[in-house]
Structure 1
């Protein structure tokens, strides 16, 4: 599709959250293009994480959909960030919170960086990240992220949600926007003489034609990877986890506005609080643990008896395609790649891919003029998130299983991740040098510092430096009081859900 010509028909192949996100965004942006979506009733959603970053709010804001409309229908709750438990064996650092951004960070973050810098020099400071950020305070006190109108600072937040219900909600929205849903199973992808996709043949002999195709067929990637033969690069050398086991439990009476990520023997377990249940799962390495062993360990972790609830086992294809856009096809969601759900980045990558494609497609007058730029940009997003996820495993100090020892010993690190770790050990100003060397991409210096400080990655205390007068205690007291008073503007999470109709 090298010439400048707006497509008359655009076909999204595959539903689920990614497919219907693409449908709603493209139909709302291009009302003069016939947007259609082909999906099979026999294929369910993967629905592993059921959590998001703040990108999901941006998605709904882009479409003008209010929380009071979609959250009750998807049993959704608010998410201030993620707790990480048992990832570190350093005393005092067994648990930390990774918060989303807030405008108050501009007032509190300088003190955080000041104190971690002093601790990195061997001084006896207080470097744990949890006491430096409003979002951490809100979560400890079970407060939602939406403040009273008189509070002049915004707090970013994500959501927990039922993935299947979200897909259905978006499908209804897309169809209201004029998207035509076609039910069927793809039997063959047919190419033209230029190597582009021309039509799909379904298993009932129907054919479906389009000018442009969006591949949302999940890990199978029937269009981009299978038909167009775009190579897939595995992340197996530095992300060992390739399987998950999933078990729901009853909803908690007090719903916390955070995801819990707890390190287990050969991976980690998530806990995602929805309005009607808790989503639980264990992401693990099949090279280190069998499926039966993983299920048994998850049940023990949750305190479940064997017969109480059935488990669902999943395989994960972790890695990324070498081209996200080839010829007249763009892959979105699992079809383009997957980084394990540790930081709930799947929907953020989906949203970024769709919006960047829309921009680049329009900039090129609906041609492939900016295809290479788009592929570099989305590839960089995947690489940046992968580095941050890999860092969680690389810097662990657990020695109780071969899994954790193997992760700590893994040296298959990108140059950018090696640079971040070098700055943490040697920089005189970590935040400034992260910007100086262009290492702030998918994650800002705040997030990197929360991770590394949250693990307690500091040198031994220096005897002379530790003996110096502690000038930070007073300012920490003032900081705690500032954050507490900010917190007075926020509402209990359960009450906030009720106020927004999520009952």
Structure 2
């Protein structure tokens, strides 16, 4: 390849998690051994806004590890705790007067005998009174014992069970900014005043600190989509028909007396949406994701604070308008949208940082020279579209199989599957057979597979109706092995508090 074909300059507009994750990753990719590409990030002065997405999926570990970041330093500087999954509460009617709940872990259990573990559980344990997650996975046993995923001698980025993090999103951005600028990324604090375009190509961006030109521009400006909107019209597909929760009220609060950080996220359903609770070392981040056509901002804030209780001491409150949907084209001309500028699906499964990771990683393999073909641009957009479509389907699953009928919101939630015809077809199939990988054929960019689907399906009591003959003694032996494995994991791991004390000492 001649030098004229090589990429010389990339300008990223917008900071936050999306901007600095992208800058750090691309700089590591292009400039690890020598300076090949000049990468500049232009962002407005840090105003310390309250982040919504402070929880992650477990694959984010691989992103940080790939860049050679020290895990303990990363987590210490972001007030982080460990996350082994999500506890869902109140997504179904109460059972025998008790609030319905289930746990969605990150792990995949492969143990089995004549049948796989899921089939075995449905056949022999469905009516035992035990939750599916409690009967099949280690993580449920860990959180019940108050344990995190780490043993005393667990290496960085490894644990007894897969794990993600609860992270202060603003501190993560500052940490990555420090690492990226030390590695050679140019950082400019400035506000963009004009985007100069020639058709679908950006020529330059004008700011109060000068004009910036580049071979490629990456839009990390959040919901504003400042760059991508400048080069494309009619470039948005809304998901609000299927996922109407388009508002959030987020708060930070001090821990109530006697409460310690939990190694899992909580997602509790309320009247017109759900509340997240994410425990950091120094505070709890929480917020109400709701349907803005059903509640006013004042009503939503009142319901959230009533749920949290009168003993709560609040630090900050922020109301957020969310654009639920995605781009039709994530790559237009020489502009690529990553993060909220590319799309957003409510943060029910903590996928915000995952989608940034995916966008940056795919960009590094597609951004091959200064003149990228339309086929390559289309490939990138298609892969990102697949990721958002898969995620949309998975999130709709959480809503459409509820039996709650106490509000118009939850009655409509049961109908949300009508906007996902492929999911509707699969649910009809899963009424009669186990959910398995071949049913999904999800794209390689998908974050969730058949095991994740089963934790939601069976946690929400959507069981298949089938009959196989089985040996009860063999089944009992199988689940005795599962219990034994769970107990071994508890014995081998530290309490979450001990892990945090070691991490933040």
**TM-score with structure 1 setting the length:** 0.89
CA deviation after TM superposition for structure 1 residue 478, in Å: 3.4
Deviations 1:139-193 (A, max 9, x none): 221212123559998532110011111111111111101111112111111113x
- 2:458 maps to 453
Gaps of 5+ in 1: none
- 1:232 maps to 236
1:198 to 203, 212, 220: 203
Q: Which moved more, 1:34-43 or 1:353-362?
A: 34-43
Deviations 1:401-457 (A, max 9, x none): 111011112343323312331231122x432xx325525743111111110100112
Alignment partner of 1:301 is 2:303: no
- 1:486 maps to 489
SS of residue paired to 2:54 = coil
SS of residue paired to 1:416 = helix
Deviations 1:354-374 (A, max 9, x none): 001101223x67623511111
Residues 456/297 of structure 1: CA separation in 2 closer, same or farther (3 Å cut): same
2:441 to 438, 442, 461: 438
- 1:53 maps to 57
Alignment partner of 1:181 is 2:187: yes
Map of 1:452-471 to 2, 5 A cutoff? 452-458=457-463
Distance of 2:58 and 2:472 partners within structure 1: 41
Residues 460/301 of structure 1: CA separation in 2 closer, same or farther (3 Å cut): farther
> Is the 2:426–2:439 contact (alpha carbons within 8 Å) kept by the matching residues of 1?
no
Q: Which moved more, 1:239-248 or 1:85-94?
A: 85-94
1:330 to 297, 320, 336: 336
CA deviation after TM superposition for structure 1 residue 43, in Å: 5.6
Instruction: Output the aligned Cα RMSD.
Output: 2.9
- 2:223 maps to 219
- 2:100 maps to 94
Alignment partner of 1:315 is 2:321: yes
Q: Which moved more, 1:84-93 or 1:128-137?
A: 84-93
SS of residue paired to 2:243 = coil
Residues 339/331 of structure 1: CA separation in 2 closer, same or farther (3 Å cut): same
> Is the 2:245–2:273 contact (alpha carbons within 8 Å) kept by the matching residues of 1?
yes
Alignment partner of 1:288 is 2:294: yes
Residues 89/227 of structure 1: CA separation in 2 closer, same or farther (3 Å cut): same
Residues 42/76 of structure 1: CA separation in 2 closer, same or farther (3 Å cut): closer
> Is the 1:357–1:374 contact (alpha carbons within 8 Å) kept by the matching residues of 2?
yes
Distance of 2:347 and 2:274 partners within structure 1: 10
CA deviation after TM superposition for structure 1 residue 258, in Å: 0.3
Distance of 2:213 and 2:496 partners within structure 1: 48
CA deviation after TM superposition for structure 1 residue 379, in Å: 0.6
Alignment partner of 1:373 is 2:376: no
SS of residue paired to 2:406 = coil
Distance of 2:422 and 2:478 partners within structure 1: 34
- 1:133 maps to 137
Q: Which moved more, 1:346-355 or 1:301-310?
A: 301-310
SS of residue paired to 1:322 = coil
Distance of 1:150 and 1:346 partners within structure 2: 27
> Is the 1:224–1:230 contact (alpha carbons within 8 Å) kept by the matching residues of 2?
no
Distance of 2:400 and 2:352 partners within structure 1: 21
Alignment partner of 1:356 is 2:362: yes
Distance of 2:290 and 2:8 partners within structure 1: 45
2:499 to 482, 496, 500: 496
- 1:85 maps to 89
- 2:6 maps to 6
Distance of 1:214 and 1:133 partners within structure 2: 41
Deviations 1:440-485 (A, max 9, x none): 74311111111010011237999xx99x978744543332122112
Residues 129/42 of structure 1: CA separation in 2 closer, same or farther (3 Å cut): closer
Residues 163/38 of structure 1: CA separation in 2 closer, same or farther (3 Å cut): same
Distance of 1:459 and 1:189 partners within structure 2: 54
- 1:155 maps to 161
Deviations 1:294-323 (A, max 9, x none): 111111111036995552111111100001
SS of residue paired to 1:191 = strand
> Is the 2:142–2:489 contact (alpha carbons within 8 Å) kept by the matching residues of 1?
no
Distance of 2:232 and 2:184 partners within structure 1: 29
Residues 108/343 of structure 1: CA separation in 2 closer, same or farther (3 Å cut): farther
CA deviation after TM superposition for structure 1 residue 129, in Å: 2.2
CA deviation after TM superposition for structure 1 residue 101, in Å: 2.1
SS of residue paired to 2:5 = coil
**TM-score with structure 2 setting the length:** 0.89
CA deviation after TM superposition for structure 1 residue 293, in Å: 1.0
Distance of 1:469 and 1:64 partners within structure 2: 49
CA deviation after TM superposition for structure 1 residue 208, in Å: 1.5
> Is the 2:418–2:424 contact (alpha carbons within 8 Å) kept by the matching residues of 1?
no
- 2:430 maps to 424
Distance of 1:4 and 1:367 partners within structure 2: 13
Gaps of 5+ in 2: none
Distance of 1:213 and 1:150 partners within structure 2: 40
Distance of 2:317 and 2:272 partners within structure 1: 18
Distance of 1:41 and 1:205 partners within structure 2: 12
